[in-house]
Amino acid sequence: MGLHRGTIEVACETFTHLSSGTAARELARDMGSGEIKSPEGLPETPATYDGVSNPIHSKKLGIYFLESDNRRMAFGRGYTGGTTPVDIHGKPIPDLSKTGGWIAALFIFGNEMAERMAYFGLSVNMVAFMFYIMHRPFTSSSNAVNNFLGISQVSSVLGGFLADAYLGRYWTIAIFTTIYLAGLTGITLCATMNIFMPDQGQCDQLSLLLGNCEPAKSWQMLYLNTVLYVTGFGAAGIRPCVSSFGADQFDERGENYKSHLDRFFNFFYLSVTIGAIVAFTLVVYIQMKHGWGSAFGSLAIAMGMSNMLFFIGTPLYRHRLPGGSPLTRVAQVLVAAFQKRKASFSSSELIGLYEVPGKRSAIKGSGKIAHTDDFRCLDKAALQLKEDGVDPSPWRLCTVTQVEEVKILIKLVPIPACTIMLNLILTEYLTLSVQQAYTLNTHLGHLKLPVTSMPVFPCLSIFLILSLYYSVFVPIFRRITGHPRGASQLQRVGIGLAFSILSVAWAAIFERYRRKYAIEHGYEFSFLTPMPNLSAYWLLIQYCLIGIAEVFCIVGLLEFLYEEAPDAMKSIGSAYAALAGGIGCFAASILNSIVKSVTGNPDKRQQSWLSQNINTGRFEYFYWLLTVLSAINFCAFLYSARRYKYRAEQKFGIQEVVTNKQNTPARG
């Protein structure tokens, strides 16, 4: 049955103590009302479990666990558990074989591929567009793009909330992909119509470097930023839902569920990578041959086609019922725990920890969650006292499952928080490595690769690693770790963080060599002039290392959050990863500003480490700073991962407690 130890203990303790005839009659009477009450004097009663006697005051709080049917449900009582898929109308699917699985997942992969293509297409091209077309300084352009990337990821919490609370994942994706398409259309108009751009006449490369080109008017920048942030807002509803909605297509009661889920998240990130590769190659090629309007227009066309593909797959999808507002449930737990902060766990007024009977949860779309001993202060929200009466408010008394939801959300926080540093590095690479590439020879034989296509190499390394993951990496890591899938989710996150340290350390070493070479060969003030004898392909080492880091860290994190999050909060759990990515983008902008203000002094004509002229700046110092911060972050992750305990999927009901009584020896 997978019973929690504390639940078994309450069954043993209660039925042993009630072995006398009078107590048995009391139990039968209480069972008739669906409620098990702890008898008077329970805290002084010794208990036996597996033949070991312990004083009751030292036992887990689970001994007070009870289930009651004597209360109206605020969150959709009577709905099936969180493991039961439904159709788009919220009705149970009679034949699951006709829905879900890999075929349904393919339609979802297509939507994510287009979204990532647009996301990376904007991230790599928008900095150059603002610099060359809108005539904004390079640093302010990169910060604007960083902020766009950050908002598009941080706002994913809103998308996850709407999906889990009201809309469900399908409708959230459907609505926000439409918003995304509207934003991309607006950006295309900005790059196509002259009215939205400053005058491009008499603006050559020298004028750009000297800042003599006519800058974009304030209203033109307002329009560009508006449509850019509308696009970012559209991504907010897609990113936290697509991976979870895809994982929903697999039956968790199936024999190969774990294997399917593991492969799904790898293939999911493979679709992300393919979208990025297309953005860094085909979209860049379109921009060079046909202009900015065609490049951004191709992103809008791809998004429109993916939307059509997503809707075509509608009859195949399996859905999960939204469980009501998760923020309301969290708030109820906090308020109820605060109101009962002075209540004692051994009070004579204590009836027990409150839960509804049977296998169903009081939360729509969720199964029950077993009680744990973490954050005992929150358990007070589920303390049912005699003064609570027959029908207490959910703001005063919450179920154990509702309390455990809040505990899980808190326990999950440190893991995605430790990936913020990796996302900061990825954000810095999108701008800093492009600045490096501008000074290097990007010829590959007779082929000259555009500088804005350089970020394709991390994607190619990711594609290669994901393709070889099961045939090469899993067998190797299985021998090392003994884990059947090569490495646990947290181990994969740790491996990724370790590779990110190696990546920025190599970036610092190479940048020191690149800058020294530029000064020695007379390129100190020609920071947009490529040096013919120094190849840009030295950057491949740091790109490949960060690609490996992404594969292990991000894929492991997505799978970890999906499996560990509560049933009715899967989208919120996935939003944690996007939130970490968004904070990483904002942190990159903040760190850049701090470094510039601390290391630069315009009055003394002292260049900052991140000078627009990369040859007079000290990018290698900045990379070493990232290396140190990454090492500290890695230590914090090791500490958090060591303390974390994977959540066991346990469901229980009052019938299971009664069944356990039959196997419990009575004491005379």
How far is the C-alpha of 87 from the C-alpha of 90, rounded, in Å?
A: 5
Residue at 518 is within a domain = yes
Residue at 138 is within a domain = yes
- Predicted confidence (pLDDT) at residue 1 exceeds the cutoff of 60: no
312 and 454 share one domain: no
What is the per-residue pLDDT for 181?
A: 92
419 and 387 share one domain: no
Positive or negative torsion for Cα 54, 56, 60, 65: positive
The confidence band for 532, taking pLDDT boundaries of 50, 70 and 90, is confident
The confidence band for 496, taking pLDDT boundaries of 50, 70 and 90, is very high
How far is the C-alpha of 656 from the C-alpha of 64, rounded, in Å?
A: 16
Cα within 13 Å of Cα(141), Cβ side = 24
599 and 630 share one domain: yes
484 and 401 share one domain: no
With CA atoms as reference, report the closest residue to 190 among 221, 152, 213: 221
How do residues 275-294 score in pLDDT, each as one tens digit?
888 888 888 888 888 888 89
The confidence band for 206, taking pLDDT boundaries of 50, 70 and 90, is low
539 and 550 share one domain: yes
How do residues 405-428 score in pLDDT, each as one tens digit?
899 999 999 999 999 999 999 888
What is the per-residue pLDDT for 661?
A: 36
How far is the C-alpha of 518 from the C-alpha of 619, rounded, in Å?
A: 13
The arithmetic mean of pLDDT across residues 339-359, rounded, is 77
- Predicted confidence (pLDDT) at residue 103 exceeds the cutoff of 80: yes
Single-letter code of the amino acid located at 580: A
CA dihedral 142, 147, 149, 151 (to 10 degrees): -170
Choose from 81-85, 378-382, 447-451 the range with maximum mean pLDDT: 378-382
More confident residue, 30 or 502: 502
More confident residue, 512 or 604: 512
Residue at a domain's end among 349, 375, 405: 405
The share of the chain scoring above pLDDT 70, in percent, equals 81
Residue at a domain's end among 362, 379, 405: 405
488 and 391 share one domain: no
223 and 245 share one domain: yes
What is the per-residue pLDDT for 232?
A: 84
319 and 240 share one domain: yes
Domain of residue 350 covers: 326-405
What is the per-residue pLDDT for 62?
A: 42
How do residues 585-618 score in pLDDT, each as one tens digit?
888 888 988 998 898 877 777 788 888 788 888 8
How do residues 291-321 score in pLDDT, each as one tens digit?
888 999 999 999 898 888 888 888 888 888 7
The confidence band for 186, taking pLDDT boundaries of 50, 70 and 90, is very high
The confidence band for 211, taking pLDDT boundaries of 50, 70 and 90, is low
Residue at 418 is within a domain = yes
Residue at a domain's end among 302, 323, 344: 323
More confident residue, 516 or 256: 516
What is the per-residue pLDDT for 664?
A: 39
How do residues 104-160 score in pLDDT, each as one tens digit?
888 888 888 888 888 888 877 887 788 788 877 776 777 777 777 777 777 787 888
Residue at 576 is within a domain = yes
State the average pLDDT for the chain: 76
Residue at 127 is within a domain = yes
Residue at 64 is within a domain = no
The CATH number given to whatever domain includes residue 105 is 1.20.1250.20
Residue at 382 is within a domain = yes
The arithmetic mean of pLDDT across residues 424-449, rounded, is 81
- Predicted confidence (pLDDT) at residue 644 exceeds the cutoff of 50: yes
The confidence band for 368, taking pLDDT boundaries of 50, 70 and 90, is confident
Specify whether the CB–CB gap between 650 and 566 falls below 8 A.
Answer: no
Bridge partners for 350 per DSSP: 385
| CB count in 10 Å sphere of residue 492 | 24
- What's 278-330 look like in SS3? HHHHHHHHHHHHHCHHHHHHHHHHHHHHHHHHHHHCHHHCCECCCCCCHHHHH
202 and 331 share one domain: no
Q: Is 308 exposed, middle or buried (0-12, 13-18, 19+ CB in 10 A)?
A: exposed
What is the per-residue pLDDT for 632?
A: 97
Residue at 15 is within a domain = no
The confidence band for 648, taking pLDDT boundaries of 50, 70 and 90, is low
354 and 420 share one domain: no
- Predicted confidence (pLDDT) at residue 505 exceeds the cutoff of 90: yes
- Predicted confidence (pLDDT) at residue 536 exceeds the cutoff of 90: no
What is the per-residue pLDDT for 10?
A: 37
The confidence band for 57, taking pLDDT boundaries of 50, 70 and 90, is very low
What is the per-residue pLDDT for 635?
A: 96
558 and 492 share one domain: yes
- Predicted confidence (pLDDT) at residue 493 exceeds the cutoff of 90: yes
Query: In the 8-state DSSP scheme, what is residue 438?
Result: H
Phi and psi at residue 447, to the nearest 5°:
-95, 130
Q: Distance between terminal CA atoms of the chain?
A: 28
226 and 257 share one domain: yes
What is the per-residue pLDDT for 150?
A: 75
Q: How many domains does the chain have?
A: 3
